[in-house]
A and B are shown apart, each in its own frame.
Chain A
Amino acid sequence: MLAFLLRRIVIAIPTVILISIFVFGLQKLLPGDPILAMAGEERDPQVIEFLREKYRMNDPVWVQYITWIKGVVTGDLGISLRTNQPVTELIAQKLPVTIQLALMALVFALVIGIPAGILSAVKKGTITDYIANVVALSGLSIPNFWLGIMLILLVAVNWQLLPASGYVPPSDDLWLSIKTMLMPAFVLGTALAATLMRHTRSAMLGVLKSDYVRTARAKGLNERRVILKHAFRNALTPIVTLTALLFGELIAGAVLTEQIFTIPGFGKLVVDAVFNRDYAVVQGIVLITAMGFIVMNILADAAYYVLNPRLRKQ
């Protein structure tokens, strides 16, 4: 187990280095001078030159990279060109927001996806299965940003049931916080619910065919019990693993949802930063997100390894 984990981590190191180079390079390739972008309406050549020096934009690219990576290693991701705030501080501010959004979306996904998946597997081939499948695929096919603006129009503008946008920290007002996040979490959760439903269905189908379940049935246990207690428990392993993986994707995937609902999280930060050419912010966020993604992957692999005895014997 330890060896397995170690190997995964060692393999991940070059990947992380590649990501850092990649992220850095991409930023440098972006057209539009960040200093000019931040100069905005007033462009004083002297100040622009001073800022270029200050942010070391005149150094060769590789020197800039080394400077940046040195900072990264010591936990300093640089400062935002736009607001002068340290990037680490920005990330610390944004992370809880996106995690809350992701968690709430996950709740939606689990509550819808798992029961639907079980039902569809048990009723395989029936009209229920068929409908569940089409609904799930619909969830995957709806453009989230469109669903978002439609919900804002209906729920917030026409019916005025929920706030149209924004973010309230749960520490300020838990209920309001949940209310504000309800629509975006639903929007983000739909696609995920669909994915989860499909995976639950296939995992359940696999287990239902197994000798183990056949035996349970043969023993004359009632069907409900067989399905929930025996089959579902066994199907749980791949589902849990998948959920861990999806969580990483969720955090990364909040980009447009946050944009539509004006939620000050990770995704909005990075998109705004790309448009404002706020280099340090884009680099910092993408690096952190990518590393989070890799860590989630390793954890999911580890969980899969631990939970799956056959793999262990190999």
Chain B
Amino acid sequence: MMAQPATPATLKPQVMADPVLQARPENRVWKKFRSHNSAVLGGVLVGFFVLMAVFAPLLPIPDPTATDWGAVRKGPSAAHWLGTDEIGRDVLSRLVWGARASLMAGVISVGIAVVFGVPLGILAGYFGGWTDGIISRCTEALLAVPFLILAIALAAFLGPSLTNAMIAIGLSATPVFVRLTRGQVISVKAEDYVEGAHAIGLSTPKILRRYIFPNILPPVLVQATLTIATAIIAEASLSFLGLGQQPPAPSWGSMLNTAKNFLSQAPWMALWPGIAIFLVVLGFNLLGDGLRDALDPREH
């Protein structure tokens, strides 16, 4: 159900690290990225929504919570370009402000997943043995519970709010990062130069900093970009079920939740938030794909 571009459980992670990558000049990666039209398109889409979210207060639009009893569920007009909602608020304005909730939900929940997932993955991959056993079994257990069900249960447990939805999504997405990082660490650890570093007595923190981190960074970055896309949809889904952003603050998912009750009288209420979600998620997916191709030495 979730647009989850991640590879299913036991297949290899889609992004492979290249130990030689760091030796390459940065601009080569950039060039490769730029040569990818679709990735640039993704970047433009994401950039557009980020700008929209950042400059929302400066735009000449009405207050997203200002109600107007005289203009309840009115279609698009000169005063309200995208129409008004069930209590007479401007849909365009709510759409613009709603970008904040969606982007925040995407970035912060993935941030949570990275902050928890990457260190756990490094622990499991680097030290192996019991540490790995425990972390890996827990990860597998969490991965076996469908992502959205897990997020719904956690959100229901924490109580409906945007913050709690982000925590729920972040925790649900953590296992993906644990496994990705663990796999990367294991494969990098087996490289000759890391074993060599061990042999000459380099300390663990130094090895981690010098060899492991730079190698797990690119795949984590790509996975994070793609997971932001998933997380934005997840936030919208939770809000759609009433477990996300709370009224009167706007969020695309909660706008859709309300809109579905007025589908035939006010279809514009449902149309725009859906398109907005679609575009921003598409943006992150294209961006993630582009990044992967740019950072992955195997193709081309």
Contact = CB atoms under 8 A, between A and B. Distances in A.
Interface of A: 14-16, 18-19, 22-23, 26-27, 29-31, 130, 133-134, 137-147, 149-150, 152-153, 157, 188, 191, 194-195, 198, 238, 241-242, 245-246, 249, 252-257, 259, 267, 270-271, 274-275, 282, 286, 289-291, 293-294, 297, 300-301, 304
A138 B8 contact: no
B89 to A, nearest CB: 20
B237 A157 contact: no
B3 A191 contact: yes
B268 to A, nearest CB: 12
Contacts of A255: 1, 146, 148-149, 152
B5 interface: yes
A241 B8 CA distance: 10
B278 interface: yes
A292 to B, nearest CB: 9
Nearest to A140: B3
A256 B156 contact: no
Contacts of B8: 242, 245-246, 249, 297, 300
Nearest to A199: B7
A253 B152 CA distance: 13
A242 B12 CA distance: 12
B263 A153 contact: yes
A193 to B, nearest CB: 12
Interface string B130-160: 0000000110111011101100111011010
A256 B138 contact: no
Interface in B213-245: 229, 233, 236-237, 240-241
Interface in B240-281: 240-241, 256, 259-260, 263-264, 267, 270-271, 273-274, 277-279, 281
Contact of A286 (B5, B145, B285): B145
A141 B1 contact: no
A31 B157 contact: yes
Given A195-B4, A256-B241, 8 more contacts: A137-B286, A137-B289, A141-B229, A145-B240, A150-B270, A241-B11, A245-B8, A286-B145
Nearest to A157: B264
Contacts, number: 168
A138 B5 CA distance: 12
B9 interface: yes
Interface of B: 1-5, 8-11, 37-38, 137-138, 140-142, 144-146, 148-149, 152-154, 156-157, 159, 229, 233, 236-237, 240-241, 256, 259-260, 263-264, 267, 270-271, 273-274, 277-279, 281-282, 285-286, 289
Point out which of B11, B138, B153, B240 has the most chain A C-beta atoms below 10 A from its C-beta.
B153
Given A157-B263, A245-B8, A257-B1, A149 B38 contact: no
Nearest to A244: B8
B146 A143 contact: no
**Chain B interface main SS type:** helix
**Chain A interface main SS type:** helix
Contact of A26 (B146, B157, B286, B289): B157
Given A18-B138, A157-B264, A191 B1 contact: yes
Contact of A143 (B4, B236, B267, B285): B236
Given A143-B274, A246-B8, A274-B153, A149 B263 contact: yes
Contacts of A291: 144
A312 to B, nearest CB: 16
A253 B233 CA distance: 13
A253 B284 CA distance: 21
A286 B142 contact: no
A300 B8 CA distance: 10
Point out which of B4, B142, B145, B263 has the most chain A C-beta atoms below 10 A from its C-beta.
B145
A252 B146 contact: yes
Contact of A274 (B3, B156, B273, B279): B156
B254 to A, nearest CB: 12
19 contacts: A15-B144, A19-B145, A137-B282, A139-B3, A140-B229, A141-B278, A143-B274, A143-B277, A150-B271, A191-B3, A238-B11, A252-B146, A254-B1, A259-B241, A267-B149, A275-B156, A293-B9, A294-B140, A297-B8
Contacts of A18: 137-138, 140-141
Given A15-B141, A245-B8, A149 B285 contact: no
Nearest to B1: A253
A29 B5 CA distance: 31
A106 B153 CA distance: 27
